[in-house]
């Protein structure tokens, strides 16, 4: 950056800076929702992020974030519901060896017109309304039916195997809070309460700018030996969609300052967040940072003590945050996962607390032999295991340009600075890819 000292941070410091900025985005978003759209100008809230909302069909809302809480339209369950197949009984009639006369059967979707009177029972299916007079359900496994008579092998208590009306939610209760990402379970709740349209946050538009004279488009059938096909734009676009954004993929930008500045200006006018791949290291033709600096960018960091991915950049320009990611595919994917994903999730409406820690614990399945260095190391690994333990297994890895290693991996083994040899069985950190 024209001789300017690099702003180099630890992994923890860099993630904290991103999350701090993301929190600022969220506060700005919340303030913006209380203002008329025409009252937000370039000197105020919109310079960080004011996403806006839209109403969409619940069938097309997967992965979006709820912008409004959703309430129950009636009590849930709306009736006393049988939780097991069995017999609806009066608990006071039950004891070992008691015999009750079966007077009917209640299926799910039906309601019995008859009461359960003393000395009687009604066969009932899971999910069916419990008939009047009954206060418990005895499981079919604990009964012996012969004709109309049912012999009991045990007693039951009042309320046993019954979900009382309204025990899950009363009418008007909030069943889904705002800020929740919509997944299959949320879709099930929306369906249950009849919410066929939902208010969601708008997806932030993310400009994806791949730079480098060595790059050609993926459709190039005959690249020269010194050229490589651009894999980063497609990978970043997939990550943007995964974390709640709308990707805007630009054509490859050559290593020419004027063209790069023009592309940055175009992206600023069309996107809410900018992501660059390549051109952020220390080489003579790494021009992204100088171009951003010439346009007045504020750099929050431009180096992180990690390997791979040390040249990662984060800053702000003309009211838009940007990330500069290294050009090697594994470094690019890793630094997006570590930094840009958190920012993007919050911009998409997710509560920052839900974007804070992507790291998991696992067991090392191999002996690690390494020389201690002052960086966090990330190695692509496979995750294997069962209900009792997750284990990380080594894969063949030829460096941060080895995109096939990334495709075979489930994530990254994370080794803190100063880590030396580790025996198999050690507890380690794991970052899903």
| Strand spans (E) along 370-418 | 376-385, 390-394, 411-415
Radius of gyration of the chain (CA): 30
pTM score, whole prediction: 0.86
Residue 179 lies in a domain: yes
What are the backbone dihedrals phi and psi of residue 29, each rounded to the nearest 5 degrees, phi first? -60, -45
User: Residue range 35-45: average pLDDT?
Assistant: 34
Q: What is the pLDDT of residue 73?
A: 97
pLDDT exceeds cutoff 50 at 35: no
Q: What is the pLDDT of residue 82?
A: 98
pLDDT exceeds cutoff 60 at 195: yes
Q: What is the pLDDT of residue 387?
A: 72
Q: What is the pLDDT of residue 45?
A: 30
Token pair of 109 as six digits: 């979707």
Task: Please provide the size of the chain in residues.
Answer: 433
Q: How many domains does the chain have?
A: 4
Q: Which domain holds residue 65?
A: 54-76+173-201
Residue 399 lies in a domain: yes
* Separation between Cα atoms, residue 132 and residue 362, nearest integer Å: 53
Q: What is the pLDDT of residue 147?
A: 92
pLDDT exceeds cutoff 50 at 106: yes
pLDDT exceeds cutoff 80 at 222: yes
Q: How confident is the model at residue 27 (pLDDT cuts 50, 70, 90)?
A: low
Q: Are residues 192 and 333 in the same domain?
A: no
pLDDT exceeds cutoff 50 at 46: no
What are the backbone dihedrals phi and psi of residue 70, each rounded to the nearest 5 degrees, phi first? -115, 130
Task: Name residue 205's beta-bridge partners.
Answer: 246
* Separation between Cα atoms, residue 24 and residue 46, nearest integer Å: 11
Residue 133 lies in a domain: yes
* Separation between Cα atoms, residue 351 and residue 243, nearest integer Å: 13
pLDDT exceeds cutoff 50 at 41: no
Q: Are residues 269 and 344 in the same domain?
A: yes
Q: Are residues 290 and 155 in the same domain?
A: no
- 135 three-class SS: coil
* Separation between Cα atoms, residue 400 and residue 33, nearest integer Å: 42
pLDDT exceeds cutoff 80 at 273: yes
pLDDT, one tens digit per residue, over 304-320 is 999 999 999 999 999 99
Q: Which of 317, 332, 355 is the last residue of a domain?
A: 355
Q: Are residues 349 and 408 in the same domain?
A: no
pLDDT exceeds cutoff 80 at 303: yes
CA angle 244, 286, 7 (to 5 degrees): 70
pLDDT exceeds cutoff 60 at 2: no
Q: What is the pLDDT of residue 187?
A: 97
pLDDT, one tens digit per residue, over 353-380 is 777 678 999 999 999 999 999 999 999 9
pLDDT over 70, % of the chain = 92
In sequence order, what are the residues at sequence separation of 6 or more whose Cβ sits closer than 8 angstroms to the Cβ of residue 130?
79, 80, 81, 82, 88, 106, 124, 137, 162
Q: Which of 148, 181, 201 is the last residue of a domain?
A: 201
- 367 three-class SS: coil
Q: How confident is the model at residue 249 (pLDDT cuts 50, 70, 90)?
A: very high
Helix, strand, coil percentages in the chain from 3-state DSSP, rounded to 5: 25, 30, 45
Q: Are residues 184 and 220 in the same domain?
A: no
Q: Are residues 274 and 410 in the same domain?
A: no
Residue 408 lies in a domain: yes
Q: What is the CATH number of the domain that holds 185?
A: 3.90.105.10
Residue 168 lies in a domain: no
User: Residue range 341-349: average pLDDT?
Assistant: 93
Instruction: Tell me how far the alpha carbon of residue 189 is from its chain's centroid.
Output: 18
Q: What is the pLDDT of residue 354?
A: 77
Q: What is the pLDDT of residue 5?
A: 64
In sequence order, what are the residues at sequence separation of 6 or more whose Cβ sits closer than 8 angstroms to the Cβ of residue 274?
206, 207, 209, 264, 267, 268, 317, 320, 321, 322, 323
Which range has the worst mean pLDDT, 81-90, 148-157, 385-394?
385-394
Whether residue 260 contacts residue 253, with contact meaning beta carbons closer than 8 Å, is answered with yes
What are the backbone dihedrals phi and psi of residue 319, each rounded to the nearest 5 degrees, phi first? 80, 10
Q: Are residues 386 and 308 in the same domain?
A: no
Residue 35 lies in a domain: yes
Q: Which of 323, 338, 355 is the last residue of a domain?
A: 355
Strand 143-146 to strand 197-201: parallel, antiparallel, or no bridges (unpaired)?
unpaired
Q: What is the pLDDT of residue 357?
A: 76
Q: Are residues 230 and 306 in the same domain?
A: yes
Q: Are residues 232 and 96 in the same domain?
A: no
Q: Torsion angle of alpha carbons 45, 4, 279, 42, nearest 10°?
A: 20
Q: What is the pLDDT of residue 50?
A: 67
* Separation between Cα atoms, residue 139 and residue 150, nearest integer Å: 12
Q: What is the CATH number of the domain that holds 349?
A: 3.40.980.10
- The answer to whether the peptide bond before residue 77 is cis (omega within 30 degrees of 0) is yes
Q: What is the pLDDT of residue 267?
A: 97
Token pair of 420 as six digits: 């030396």
Token pair of 266 as six digits: 């175009």
Residue 1 lies in a domain: no
pLDDT, one tens digit per residue, over 258-270 is 999 999 999 999 9
Q: What is the pLDDT of residue 42?
A: 30
Q: What is the mean pLDDT of the chain?
A: 91
User: Residue range 53-72: average pLDDT?
Assistant: 96
State which H helix or E strand residue 16 sits in. Answer: helix 11-32
Q: What is the pLDDT of residue 356?
A: 67
Q: Are residues 344 and 379 in the same domain?
A: no
Residue 3 lies in a domain: no
Q: Are residues 110 and 62 in the same domain?
A: no
pLDDT exceeds cutoff 90 at 38: no
Q: What is the CATH number of the domain that holds 143?
A: 2.170.190.11
Q: Are residues 344 and 236 in the same domain?
A: yes
Whether residue 416 contacts residue 370, with contact meaning beta carbons closer than 8 Å, is answered with no
Q: What is the pLDDT of residue 4?
A: 63
């Amino acid at each position: 950056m024209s001789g300017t000292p690099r702003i180099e941070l630890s992994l923890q410091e860099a993630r904290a800076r991103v999350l701090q900025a993301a929190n600022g985005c969220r506060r700005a978003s919340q303030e913006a929702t209380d203002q008329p759209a025409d009252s937000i100008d370039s000197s105020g809230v919109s310079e960080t992020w004011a996403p806006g909302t839209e109403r969409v069909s619940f069938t097309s809302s997967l992965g979006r974030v709820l912008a409004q809480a959703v309430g129950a339209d009636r009590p849930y369950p709306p009736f006393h519901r049988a939780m097991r197949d069995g017999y609806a009984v009066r608990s006071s009639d039950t004891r070992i060896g008691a015999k009750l006369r079966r007077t009917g059967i209640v299926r799910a979707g039906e309601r019995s017109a008859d009461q359960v009177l003393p000395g009687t029972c009604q066969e009932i299916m899971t999910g069916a309304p419990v008939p009047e007079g009954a206060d418990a359900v005895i499981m079919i496994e604990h009964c012996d039916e012969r004709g109309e008579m049912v012999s009991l092998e045990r007693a039951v208590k009042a309320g046993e195997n019954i979900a009382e009306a309204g025990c899950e939610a009363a009418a008007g209760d909030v069943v889904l809070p705002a800020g929740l990402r919509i997944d299959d379970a949320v879709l099930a709740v929306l369906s249950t309460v009849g919410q066929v349209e939902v208010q969601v946050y708008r997806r932030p538009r993310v400009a994806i700018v791949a730079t480098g004279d060595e790059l050609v488009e993926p459709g190039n059938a005959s690249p020269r030996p010194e050229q490589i096909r651009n894999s980063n734009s497609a990978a970043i676009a997939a990550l943007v969609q995964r974390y709640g954004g709308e990707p805007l993929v630009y054509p490859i930008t050559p290593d020419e300052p004027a063209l790069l500045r023009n592309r940055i200006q175009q992206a600023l006018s069309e996107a809410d967040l900018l992501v660059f791949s390549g051109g952020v290291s220390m080489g003579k033709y790494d021009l992204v940072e100088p171009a951003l600096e010439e346009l007045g960018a504020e750099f929050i960091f431009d180096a992180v003590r990690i390997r791979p991915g040390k040249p990662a950049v984060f800053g702000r320009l003309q009211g838009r945050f940007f990330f500069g990611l290294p050009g090697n595919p594994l470094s690019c994917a890793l630094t997006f996962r570590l930094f840009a994903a958190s920012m993007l999730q919050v911009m998409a409406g997710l509560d920052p607390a839900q974007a804070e820690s992507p790291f998991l614990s696992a067991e090392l399945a191999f002996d690690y032999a390494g020389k201690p260095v002052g960086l966090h190391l990330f190695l692509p690994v496979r995750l294997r295991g069962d209900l009792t333990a997750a284990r990380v297994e080594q894969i063949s890895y030829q460096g941060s340009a080895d995109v096939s290693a990334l495709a075979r991996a489930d994530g990254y083994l994370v080794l803190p600075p100063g880590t030396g040899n580790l025996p198999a069985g050690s507890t380690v950190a794991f970052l899903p890819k």
